[in-house]
A and B are shown apart, each in its own frame.
Chain A
Amino acid sequence: MTKFLGSLLLAAIVVPALASEPVPDFKLVDVNSNSARGMSEVSPRDYVLQVSGYYFGAAG
């Protein structure tokens, strides 16, 4: 029952589930000097065949 509720909760938060097309690409400088790729250009294309996450915390 707990597992079922957990699945429902997950389904409610996941939006959308697996789009069919890759997202439009971009290339931006990673300004976090503490990251593995700090101060170098980063693109989602670099992460093909890997899972990646992008946090949008502030516009432009």
Chain B
Amino acid sequence: MEQTVWVNWEVEYRDVQILDSQNRVYAVFNLTRNDLAIESNREILKQMFLAAAKIVDSDKDRLPDDWELRYFNKLSGNPADDPDSDGADNFTEFAFGTNPNDAKSRSSFQPRLVRNGQQSLLTVPFRRRAGGGINYIAEVSADFKNWTRSSTEITAASIKLLFDGTGTSQATYSLKKPAEAQPYSFVRIRALPAVQ
């Protein structure tokens, strides 16, 4: 099987093959011809990965080309459109890692109480886009009208990359005060386009 990959990928001994987000060969860097003991070669390899990871948004609609091509086969997606009529527009589907063409593909936003000794802490795990381009903001409210994002109330998100072909990661926020002493009853996660 390993040898089949070498043939199918047309690999040379000591190649580093860099694939872009569509699994296409973006660049090949051979470590025999380009010794990584030389600092300039290490820098070139690093720059290759960074260039491959650069977010491309040709039509400047806040939806990366790779995401639009994967789900629409063209760059026609509009951030405000909702092709599967599930109430989540394309930007929301992109931000929270769901399929914009499948109404059954829903956000994994599932708050739960986690026991910590005698206390219970509210944690909020959810699926989000891996990488940059979006700012995620957790906010709490006592009345569903006034929201706060204070870091004294909410922990920074812990992030765990997922490897399921969706380009997403699992993020988890936790409220710092135990549920028994918690003045806030509501939690929300906002996804905003990062300033490009």
A and B physically associate: yes
Residues in chain A within 8 A of chain B (CB atoms): 9-10, 13-26, 28, 36-37, 42, 44-57, 59-60
**A47 engages B23 (CB within 8 Å):** yes
Q: Choose among A17, A24, A42 the residue that contacts B9 (Cβ–Cβ < 8 A).
A: A24
Instruction: Report the Cα distance A18→B19, complex, angstroms.
Output: 9
Residues in chain B within 8 A of chain A (CB atoms): 1-6, 8-9, 11-29, 31, 33-34, 44, 47-49, 52-53, 66-67, 70, 130-131, 161, 163-168
Instruction: Report the Cα distance A59→B11, complex, angstroms.
Output: 10
**A10 engages B47 (CB within 8 Å):** yes
Whole-angstrom distance from the CB of B128 to the nearest CB of chain A?
13
Instruction: Report the Cα distance A47→B3, complex, angstroms.
Output: 21
**A14 engages B48 (CB within 8 Å):** yes
**B44 engages A46 (CB within 8 Å):** no
Interfacial chain A residues near B9, Cβ < 8 Å:
23-24, 54, 56
Main secondary structure, interface of A, reads loop
Knowing A14-B27, A49-B66, A54-B19, say if A26 contacts B1 (CB, 8 Å). Answer: yes
Interfacial chain A residues near B6, Cβ < 8 Å:
56, 59-60
Main secondary structure, interface of B, reads mixed
Instruction: Report the Cα distance A51→B49, complex, angstroms.
Output: 8
Q: Choose among B12, B19, B66, B161 the residue that contacts A53 (Cβ–Cβ < 8 A).
A: B19
Instruction: Report the Cα distance A58→B26, complex, angstroms.
Output: 22
**B165 engages A48 (CB within 8 Å):** yes
Sample of 9 more A-B contacts, CB < 8 Å, known A13-B27, A13-B33, A55-B14: A13-B29, A14-B27, A19-B24, A47-B165, A48-B70, A56-B15, A56-B16, A57-B14, A59-B2
Interfacial chain A residues near B31, Cβ < 8 Å:
55
**A51 engages B22 (CB within 8 Å):** no
**B27 engages A17 (CB within 8 Å):** yes
7 closest residue pairs by CB, A with B: A49-B167, A22-B23, A24-B8, A46-B163, A60-B3, A14-B27, A19-B25
**A44 engages B15 (CB within 8 Å):** no
Interfacial chain B residues near A57, Cβ < 8 Å:
13-14
**A48 engages B24 (CB within 8 Å):** no
Whole-angstrom distance from the CB of A14 to the nearest CB of chain B?
4
Whole-angstrom distance from the CB of B191 to the nearest CB of chain A?
16
Residue of A nearest to B64 (CB): A49
Whole-angstrom distance from the CB of B55 to the nearest CB of chain A?
11
